[in-house]
Amino acid sequence: MNADIIPARTPAEISLARTFDAFKAGLPGNMDVTKWREASFKAFKVSGLPHRRIEAWHYTDLRALMRDALPLASFPGAATIDALRAEFAAARVPRQRIVLVDGFFVPELSDGLPEGLKVRSLASALTEGRPDLIALLSSHDLAARDPIVSLNAALMQDGVVIEVAPSTVIAEPINLVHATASPTPAAHFSRSALILGAGASLRLAESRHIANRAQPVGAGQANACLIVSLGDGAKLAHTAMATGTAPAGVRLESVMVRIGARAKFDSFALVAGIGLVRRQMFVRFEGAESEALLSGVSLLGGREHADTTLLVEHVAPGCVSRETFKYILDEEATGVFQGKIHVAPGAQKTDGKMLCKAMLLSDMAAMNNKPELEIFADDVACGHGATCGGLDIDQLFYLQTRGLPFAQAEALLLEAFAGELVDGIGHEGLIKAYRREVSAWLSARHGPTAAPSRGLIA
């Protein structure tokens, strides 16, 4: 019942401590950064890997789920980079891209970046140590005391810092490609930042690429932070594809967002195919009359575990937030949704609505849902809804009476269920890409023959 029980160290924790001791001297950054790393690791050491007695991690017991910590990834060699270049050309990875390989920024692979965009590696930013940039990169106040964010700060190897000059408007998406190339399973710790000046507008599309030489993967561990700062009147549309084929993979992702006045932040994420995913978003409205639309779809099968945790802090008045998340859970998968809308004293006229819908397809699947409201201002309209259940038999029956085989009827309903959010992305090319992913996942469920997996009405 008490959160301050200090459990015995797990092999993963011991191995992380060893890694930190062995690598800290070689990690990038000036003196201040070194101090920051030390303090962060100390904070992590106190709490250890988060476990179920820590309220924010109640449903994702990382101590139990993460048995071991993998060795740190190293900077990709020239051969790897050349191979990736060829693969990108063959796979038609779009231009206007920024590429991180195993968490390291590789300028040689990045391509076609437009005017008004300043891109540099995290390592160089840390070494230079511009105080305002370091303050933004640390963003202590946003993810206060989250052990995974602390661990990231201690061990961050690289990442990318993107600065967009005020009033720059870029219509086509900037692609942030996370490539996995390490031939042996490795852990990467990356931290990236996206800073939009006042009135700037950008679309950031995050995607994944698994290098041929990295096969078979399936066990990588990634701890990635993305820090976003939106100036007054800035607009960011963000999509993230957290997909893969890594049943033993671990992906811990923390997105920290500060929103200025009259700005707009729109974010969508698709999670599928990774053994353990925790996506946490810390969003703070610092200026009045801004808007944030957060949404996501998680498609889970096998023994996958996916957790979306949100903290949306309405500090400034008159802001609007919408959080809409959907889960489809098959086989022995576990879905977790925790969303908290916090309205600070004085954040009057806040309008916050949160919704999570989960669809359970198997007797062994489980969903844990914790939508929270924390409200200290009276003139607000806040609400949340949460549902979980199975597919509607009547709807299935209706489609079957019209001649659709069971599997197809089921897929159609599920596609409609998830597709609603995909369609909200607002960019045709991206909608198509995400729809393809969803369809692929759905058709893979029943295998190529599309035989009904269970005889509900079949």
* Interacting residues toward another protein by CB under 8 A: 1-3, 55, 345-346, 348, 358-391
Residue 34 or 348 with smaller CB distance to another protein? 348
Q: Quote the least distance from Cβ 314 to another protein, whole Å.
A: 12
Residue 108 or 374 with smaller CB distance to another protein? 374
- Count CA atoms closer than 13 A to 422's CA, side-chain side: 25
**Tokens 């009359």, residue located:** 289
Q: Quote the least distance from Cβ 354 to another protein, whole Å.
A: 9
CA separation for the pair 116, 163 (Å, rounded): 8
Positions of E strands within 330-425: 334-343, 351-360, 366-375, 381-389
The per-residue b/e assignment along 373-386, b for 16 or more CB within 10 angstroms, e otherwise, is eebebeebebebeb
Closest CA to 361 of 392, 338, 383, 316: 392
Q: Quote the least distance from Cβ 170 to another protein, whole Å.
A: 38
Residue 101 or 361 with smaller CB distance to another protein? 361
Residue 134 or 386 with smaller CB distance to another protein? 386
CA separation for the pair 291, 309 (Å, rounded): 19
Helix 147-155, helix 11-23: angle, nearest 10: 30
Residue 25 is given by DSSP the state G
Q: Quote the least distance from Cβ 67 to another protein, whole Å.
A: 24
Q: Quote the least distance from Cβ 276 to another protein, whole Å.
A: 19
Residue 231 or 317 with smaller CB distance to another protein? 317
Residue 152 or 280 with smaller CB distance to another protein? 280
Tokens of 111: 């391509």
**Tokens 């305002």, residue located:** 132
Q: Measured in whole angstroms, how far is the alpha carbon of residue 110 from the centre of its chain?
A: 22
Q: Quote the least distance from Cβ 394 to another protein, whole Å.
A: 13
CA separation for the pair 138, 148 (Å, rounded): 13
Q: Quote the least distance from Cβ 440 to another protein, whole Å.
A: 23
Contact 356, 369 (CB under 8 A): yes
Residue 129 or 302 with smaller CB distance to another protein? 302
